[in-house]
Structure 1
């Protein structure tokens, strides 16, 4: 019996795949995860890891019951004691929960975290959108200074530059503080109510639950109505305007390109003040490769101290797909420096001893354990793209010497088995 993979999920494989699936090769994931970690740590963020599932009410309260994530997309189930649990659909609410429950706020200063891991959303699978997705995210808790917003955008921009991405578009907006949003929600509701019957079914529901969510609609029938809707920029408080102007000024100082998108609100209920999104034209409809913003009230809403915060998340699937479409650099998979091919049982014992010693000295070594003919070992070595090979038989055992041959140049060199480890590094340049 075969067990097909669950719809909306995929395997990440340690070998070459067909061209449309190159983004599923594990060495590419390892590479970008390494870059993400290095850049986050360089900017003062430290890794945090939270459970795959949490209490459902955390996301209902943290993400917002009116959001599509909570109302349509969560994987929710009852455990054996009847408690409602959900696979995490996003990373911010769990980080904030950990910050509160583990009393991390008792340490003074700005708290800066990053995470990498899978999220789960029951969506219609399509390019760039999956039911198990992977995100890298950062959260900065403890300051409402606009410079913190700028640092986050700069970090995201530096990550993309280091990964070699180009032709990216940064959109930014302010959704204001509480007083700004209350005034704007009233104005938007007043504008949309006469058009209620022309709105899509989803937008009619959003009109009742959270009118700002109507702005997220991509449907043409909604966009036609929204074309003349009031803009939140006209309802920003003095403090919100000043905050946003500082952010824009500092982005100009750093020469980070952006455009103000007055209808950008993001799809989560907890955002306030600065929101931003980075998109790529090469990902069609699902074109966002990273997004975030400020969420100054979320920690208090979840039972913690009244501390401001901001963060962003990057979808790794879309990031990889964008890099491949733009032909960005990827290092190749790790290859063995030396591949040993033993010809008999005694040679196998010696080859195993040598490969073990070589690996302990940071020389990547592998061997053929099949017991088949030399041609089979050579095929394996070529498949693994080994730098060099060495055949071990009776002659090598009796002489105490083995000859190593580089596959690319056919250059060969004979080494004493006793001193192989000492001399091999220089010959292989490792």
Structure 2
């Protein structure tokens, strides 16, 4: 075995003392839908519902073996890394301090605390991750703590690479993978999996699968870095897909991934991703967080010839979904599918105006929001209306009727600035 394979095998042996390998499941529904053989590597079924537990354990295991006297470990995270870190600190009975932004939802704080009690302390500092991270680094200097990074560290990468070892060990006899689809945030998982796959399959005389890397379309740190040939810091980033929204891919990670082509990166539109989350929940009963659904969503975006009749493994990286976000996820999905729109209409200030408008609606149209915004003139007023329907072409029919009726309107569905102010 190569040096990296041996290192990963050693980490995996340690991890097996803590939790069983996550399952590699053949998914009939996705296979039928895409005319392929689709397997899901269910990292959403780990003890903390995320693959992040692997990297946190790998880091702490190696440190303890080298320096058993290290008593204090520190991390900055408001997500899956914090939960994996807390789980590891509790297992090894080591003091852990987690720095989170003050804005972190209480549900995440409580869940992280439950994994680490009584060995982990959570400190809320600042309004952003950067502020919490800065406080964590300063605390390490003052108290002699050791920072456990979320992705950009060789020890963490080795931990994430155990995903690849399990995939190859779990594959049915005689099955060869054509493509592995990997989510990318900071790059630790993608770095570890690609490295292990190429080392092991190359040594065994086989061919490494093709790799596809999936990022949120509003946080494409790997794509932009591959295009530039160097690490790029994103200036404007949407954090909805919080498990993969990283402004700058890790240095160690990019050194590993820079040999790949930018064409291998798939961008998942946020609202489309929400549709995939709803689909997997309704059809398969699988709860995925936004980042956890990236690889399944990519099946819709990949060229047909890269999917049809192929054997594909999608890594579902996490399932820490707060169901309080479900209404927003459903709305985003409907907007992406063209089944929900918001309009601002100029309504005549006269009796019967509302009734006239209602008669313009079709039998499949439903008013989900109706609000007078402001009486803008003596004879007219502005109204915000949200409409849901069952087929996208119903909106073409409605707009045509509005035009024929001489009613002035503006579709603000995709106007983020206006929609954020009034919806």
For normalisation by structure 2, the TM-score amounts to 0.26
For normalisation by structure 1, the TM-score amounts to 0.25
Larger radius of gyration: 1
